[in-house]
């Protein structure tokens, strides 16, 4: 499929993107692109805090709030309550589609996408769902039955859908990461040394304590090799600060509000392998040591990490096999061999879809030309 930028008549597009940052920020990026092309966009979000912050930051969009509904296990006593909530959500979405005169509904993934897509399908409205993982979630596999096209962030996911429905578009990144920052400027901003190699550690919002501990132990083994920038998360910040109080080459922050600077300032990354993180690593051309979150649904982070490892963009170690010695060995091998680091970074960049947001917008427009 070609991705032309020819603009058809203005469309009314509803984007369901609430629930997590991994759905929300790509959805907002698509909304910004569609709005720039002259289309009307309504964003359907959940009641969660991450979504509420978006309303404050992107106040020029029409946000509508609906209840986030998670599918319970089957069999489950919660199934009846879920069915009632789902029925109400579909009715709400059906009324919303009529109100805004929707021509298109795009779901950015998760079960929040199902009610508006199902309601739109019943009305004969064009529907799309985007999946950013190598192993699509059960909700998206279900939702895809009522979709005109399935948009994929990772090509390997095509095996889980009807191939004729699939279009590989990549996953949009947060707009604040699009302009690449200069390394020296980024290090000045984060107060990091100019003459050292630096590894960025980001354990994600879930389950980072063990990873943080092992990284600190590895850092103690190699003060001469590199500096460490650890984003601990709020819960683990004080503990890691205490552990690294006498380690001048370890820099600890609880949260980073400027990830563009964090990526630009650092040379290598140790991270979980959620789809959003990998999308950003590819865009920034950063090689990584990936430690999949062991409790992710269907172990999907391991599938993501295997794709990046297979393409030479990362090394993968399961958390149950992780040790300070293995982290230390990886850092030594990478930083002591410039060609190894260069290969990792180059392979990561090859996985980037810099025009992902444009591709998605063009797919939506093409079905109405």
Confidence of residue 8 (pLDDT cuts 50, 70, 90): low
Average model confidence (pLDDT) for the chain? 92
Confidence of residue 186 (pLDDT cuts 50, 70, 90): very high
> What is the sign, positive or negative, of the torsion defined by CA atoms of 285, 255, 257, 277?
positive
The model's pLDDT over 276-297, given as tens digits with 9 standing for 90+, comes to 999 999 999 999 999 999 988 8
**Does the pLDDT at position 2 exceed 90?**
no
The model's pLDDT over 90-122, given as tens digits with 9 standing for 90+, comes to 999 999 999 999 999 999 988 789 999 999 999
Query: Three-class SS of residue 144?
Result: helix
Residue 369 has a pLDDT of 62
Averaged pLDDT for residues 338-342? 97
DSSP state for residue 181 in the 8-state scheme: P
Rounded to 10°, the helix 300-310/275-284 angle is: 20
**Does the pLDDT at position 7 exceed 60?**
no
**Does the pLDDT at position 206 exceed 90?**
no
Residue 267 has a pLDDT of 98
The model's pLDDT over 50-69, given as tens digits with 9 standing for 90+, comes to 788 777 888 889 999 987 77
Which residues, including other chains, have CB under 8 Å from residue 253's CB and lie 6 or more apart?
Answer: 229, 230, 231, 232, 237
- Structure token digits, residue 156: 């390997």
Least confident of 10-19, 78-87, 309-318: 78-87
Residue 133 burial (CB count, 10 A):
28
Least confident of 13-22, 87-96, 143-152: 13-22
The pTM of this model reads 0.90
Alpha-carbon distance of 272 to 258, in angstroms, equals 19
Confidence of residue 5 (pLDDT cuts 50, 70, 90): low
Whether the ω angle into residue 75 lies within 30 degrees of 0, i.e. cis, is: yes
């Amino acid at each position: 499929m070609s991705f032309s930028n020819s603009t058809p008549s203005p469309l009314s597009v509803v984007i369901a993107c609430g629930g997590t940052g991994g759905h929300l920020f790509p959805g907002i990026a698509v909304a910004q692109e569609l709005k720039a092309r002259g289309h009307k966009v309504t964003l359907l979000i959940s009641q969660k805090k991450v979504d509420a912050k978006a309303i404050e930051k992107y106040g020029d969009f029409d946000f509508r709030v609906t209840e986030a509904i998670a599918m319970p296990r089957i069999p489950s006593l919660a199934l009846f309550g879920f069915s009632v909530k789902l029925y109400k959500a579909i009715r709400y979405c059906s009324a919303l589609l009529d109100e805004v005169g929707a021509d298109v509904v795009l779901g950015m993934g998760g079960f929040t996408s199902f009610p508006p897509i199902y309601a739109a399908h019943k009305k004969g409205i064009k529907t799309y769902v985007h999946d950013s993982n190598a192993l699509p979630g059960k909700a998206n596999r279900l939702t895809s039955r009522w979709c005109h096209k399935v948009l994929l962030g990772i090509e390997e996911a095509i095996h889980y859908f009807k191939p004729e429905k699939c279009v590989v578009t990549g996953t949009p990144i947060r707009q604040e990461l699009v302009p690449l920052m200069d390394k020296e400027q980024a290090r000045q901003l984060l107060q990091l040394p100019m003459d050292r190699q630096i590894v960025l550690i980001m354990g994600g919002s879930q389950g980072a304590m063990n990873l943080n501990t092992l990284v600190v132990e590895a850092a103690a083994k190699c003060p001469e090799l590199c500096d460490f920038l650890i984003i601990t998360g709020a819960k683990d910040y004080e503990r890691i600060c205490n552990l690294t109080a006498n380690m001048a080459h370890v820099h600890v922050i609880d949260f980073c509000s400027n990830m563009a600077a964090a990526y630009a300032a650092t040379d290598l990354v140790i991270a979980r392998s959620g789809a959003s993180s990998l999308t950003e690593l590819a865009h920034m051309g950063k090689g990584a040591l990936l430690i999949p979150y062991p409790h992710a649904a269907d172990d999907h982070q391991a599938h993501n990490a295997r794709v990046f490892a297979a393409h030479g963009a990362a090394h993968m170690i399961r958390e149950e096999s992780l040790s300070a010695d293995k982290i230390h060995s990886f850092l030594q091998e990478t930083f002591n061999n410039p060609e190894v680091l260069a290969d990792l970074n180059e392979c990561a960049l090859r996985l980037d879809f810099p025009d992902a947001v444009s591709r998605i917008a063009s797919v939506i427009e093409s079905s109405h030309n």
